């Protein structure tokens, strides 16, 4: 019962804030609605008993990605201009395409015979098991991701810094 | 009534659809990148939900979601760096005004 209420609450939070995010005329408001939506996804992880993932979601997405997006918005907004129109004229084709995509996925889900597999699940917290798996079975992808993050760090710095000679 | 796997899949399908609308209708390149994050999250919800319902004793879905989050962070950093560099050269962040490959 509690799970039902929490699921519908967080689902409504996610969908409403995602809709507001894509229709917000101000890009800054859009980033704040994105933070709200990601917070709802963290809540969904809590409903699914993945507490570690919920923490990672809040720390990495809301704490890093959204804040970075806000910084870049502040750095790239033309202060003297009025906020120009943030949307192009492709709203109707976009709604049709994404509506068809959602219809396809949802009808496939509803037509599938899942049997009794999806009725309920075992509620358990898997944080300790996550750590053990990350350092045993998945240690190679773990290290590759850390190298990838280092490469992204160096790449971002070199892209943004540019070469000093060209700027003068 | 209990929450089944179908609920989570429908939620992630709707989130994915909203993200596609955002990608296709935003002019601001930062808005497009933020809509991409919605797609990543829709996929991640699917991963965790399928893992929890179909193989409750194993948590490979959680592991994959951790990698999705890490790679999405790297992608977001690089995308925003490219947008910032583009803004310095072209004085715009609108995707429909970035219409030449070489400047």
Token pair listed for B58: 């194993």
- Cβ contact A49:A123 at 8 Å: yes
Say whether residue A20 is in contact with chain B using an 8 A CB cutoff.
Answer: no
Best of A44, A79, A161, A166 to disrupt the B interface (most B CBs within 10 Å) is A44
The interface predicted TM-score of the complex, written ipTM, equals: 0.91
Q: How far is CA A114 from CA A49, B8, B53, in A?
A: 22, 14, 11
**Chain A residues with CB-CB distance to B32 below 8 A:** none
Of A44, A118, A156, the CB nearest to B53: A118
Token pair listed for A86: 């943030």
Say if residue A144's pLDDT is above 70. Answer: yes
Report the C-alpha gap between A126 and A51 in whole angstroms: 8
Best of A1, A4, A19, A22 to disrupt the B interface (most B CBs within 10 Å) is A22
Of B22, B76, B87, the CB nearest to A76: B87
Q: Which CATH fold topology does B5-90 show? A: Helix Hairpins (1.10.287)
**Chain A residues with CB-CB distance to B52 below 8 A:** 48-50, 121
Of A90, A118, A152, the CB nearest to B4: A118
CA distance, residue A17 to nearest chain B CA (Å): 10
- B7-65 pLDDT per residue, tens: 899 999 999 999 999 999 988 889 999 999 999 999 999 999 988 888 877 888 889 99
Using only C-alpha atoms, chain B has a radius of gyration, in whole angstroms, of: 17
Angle between helices A67-76 and A27-47 (to 10 degrees): 170
Every domain of chain B and the residues it spans: 5-90
- A44-75 pLDDT per residue, tens: 999 988 889 999 999 999 999 999 999 998 88
Place of tokens 């991409």: B36
Residues facing B94 on adjacent strands: B28
Mean of all residue pLDDT scores within chain A: 86
Report the C-alpha gap between A134 and B15 in whole angstroms: 28
């Amino acid at each position: 019962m509690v799970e039902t209420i929490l699921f519908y609450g967080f689902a409504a939070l996610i969908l409403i804030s995602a809709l507001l995010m894509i229709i917000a005329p101000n890009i800054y408001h859009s980033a704040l609605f994105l933070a709200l939506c990601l917070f709802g996804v963290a809540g969904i992880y809590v409903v699914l008993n993945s507490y570690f993932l919920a923490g990672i979601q809040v720390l990495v997405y809301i704490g890093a990605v959204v804040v970075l997006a806000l910084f870049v918005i502040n750095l790239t907004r033309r202060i003297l201009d009025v906020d120009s129109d943030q949307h192009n004229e492709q709203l109707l084709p976009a709604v049709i395409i994404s509506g068809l995509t959602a219809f396809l996925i949802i009808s496939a889900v509803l037509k599938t015979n899942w049997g009794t597999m999806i009725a309920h699940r075992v509620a358990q917290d898997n944080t300790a098991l996550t750590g053990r798996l990350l350092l045993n079975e998945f240690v190679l992808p773990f290290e590759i991701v850390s190298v990838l993050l280092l490469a992204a760090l160096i790449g971002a710095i070199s892209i943004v810094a540019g070469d000093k000679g060209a700027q003068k | 009534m209990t929450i089944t796997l179908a609920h989570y899949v429908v939620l992630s399908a709707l989130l994915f659809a909203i993200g596609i609308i955002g990608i296709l209708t935003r002019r601001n390149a930062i808005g497009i990148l933020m809509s991409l994050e919605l797609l990543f999250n829709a996929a991640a919800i699917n991963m965790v939900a399928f893992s929890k319902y179909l193989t409750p004793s194993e948590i490979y879905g959680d592991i994959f979601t951790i990698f999705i989050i890490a790679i999405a962070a790297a992608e977001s950093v690089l995308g925003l760096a490219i947008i910032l560099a583009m803004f310095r050269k072209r004085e715009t962040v609108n995707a429909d005004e970035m219409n030449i490959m070489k400047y």
